[in-house]
Amino acid sequence: MAISSSAAENGKAAGGRSRPGASGVAHPALAAMFAVMMLVAVLPGCPETGDDDASSSPPETSVPGEIDTPPPPVTTPSPTPVRQSPTPPLPSPTPLPEETPTPVPPTETCDGTDNDGDGVVDNGFPDTDSDGTADCVDACPLDPDNDADADGVCGDVDNCPTVPNLDQADADTDMLGDACDICPFDPDNDADADTVCGDIDNCPETANPEQSDTDSDGTGDACDICPLDDLDDIDQDAVCADVDNCPTVPNPDQADADADGIGDACSEEVCDGLDNDGDGTIDNDFPDQDNDGHADCIDRCPSDPDNDADGDGVCGDIDNCPTTSNPDQADFDQDGSGDPCDSCPQDPLDD
């Protein structure tokens, strides 16, 4: 394709001077390059040029003396297919290691078992009686022997800790059960330690295992103020009757002016049922109407020598049945004989 002169001029104008070579003739290499450029511009698939660009493009001109050489065919390279590598599979997620729970050490509980495995059962729990068994599982938490007699009553409250006595009977209320009380009826449990329990000891507070009682007054000689006086100094003059010169009249000085063995205080007999003058005769010289040996002054039935023989409270000298008890003295027929001893209680003539 020839390059027009106007194009040459344009080239001159653009460069400010003309290219080297023949005047007005473009360099063959340049011409060929320009021709290729023009050809690419009109090839299909290239962006279309607007109408304004086509009208303004200079017309093609032939350069004299140059052979029009057809442009080399333009081959559009086939696009090289892009080989896509297969997407590798995503790696399986690495499983997190299982979290091993921190072992919780066993805790001891009060149940009679070694829960924490330290070789000690129920350690750390109260054991009041120090018997090795915690209170919470100890049947007798205050009894280290744990009901030694197995009667169902713990030793700390059992009134016989070593002798079975479920009923806890305690007759003398001394806190010792009858089953183990040496003196179950003696709250002092043989206080004088003479092996005779106080409830039958004639000297409960004075040891007298032989229990001698010369005057038979129920008080042992060992503790009897008057072991030979069964009345134990009846006149309370601190002189026992067996040696008192006036046994029934207080005379602690034992004065006896005439030295007759009878104290001055009782030399005169009085009617009181006692031998005041110590002559061996009671109430001597005082009247005894019925001669029964009892002075009238002290005789309940002074006219009845039998002194109410039937014991009905009515003296024989006035009793309508002297030998048959009849305190009501009933006498239906009014014959003087009480009904109990009247052969015909309704017949005054007893016929």
pLDDT tens-digit profile of 134-149? 999 999 999 999 999 9
Q: What is the largest CA-CA distance in the chain?
A: 224
> pLDDT digits over 90-140, tens only?
777 777 778 888 888 889 999 999 998 999 999 999 999 999 999 999 999
| Model pLDDT, residue 59 | 53
Distances (CA, A) of 67 to 29, 31, 34: 13, 11, 15
Give me 127's structure tokens: 């054991």
Q: Which of 60-69, 143-152, 156-165, 167-176 has the lowest mean pLDDT?
A: 60-69
Structure tokens at 139: 């049947």
pLDDT level of residue 314 (50, 70, 90 thresholds): very high
- pLDDT beyond 70 at 61: no
Share of residues in the chain with pLDDT > 90 (%): 56
What span, in angstroms and rounded, lies between the C-alpha atoms of 231 and 263? 19
Q: Is the pLDDT of residue 204 over 90?
A: yes
DSSP 106: P
Q: Give the per-residue pLDDT at 80.
A: 66
Would the CA dihedral through 69, 71, 17, 58 be positive or negative? positive
Average pLDDT, the chain: 83
Using DSSP's 3-state secondary structure scheme, residue 136 falls into helix
Contact criterion met (CB below 8 Å) for 237 and 244 = yes
Check: CB of residue 134 under 8 Å from CB of residue 127.
yes
Note the helical H segments in 120-187: none
Q: What is the mean pLDDT of residues 230-245?
A: 95
Residue 62 has pLDDT above 60, yes or no: no
Once rounded to an integer, what is the mean pLDDT over residues 304-332?
94
Please determine, for residue 298, whether its predicted confidence score (pLDDT) is greater than 80. Answer: yes
Question: Residue 95 has what pLDDT?
Answer: 79
43 band by pLDDT with thresholds 50, 70 and 90: low
Of 77-86, 186-195, 285-294, 299-308, the range with the lowest mean pLDDT is 77-86
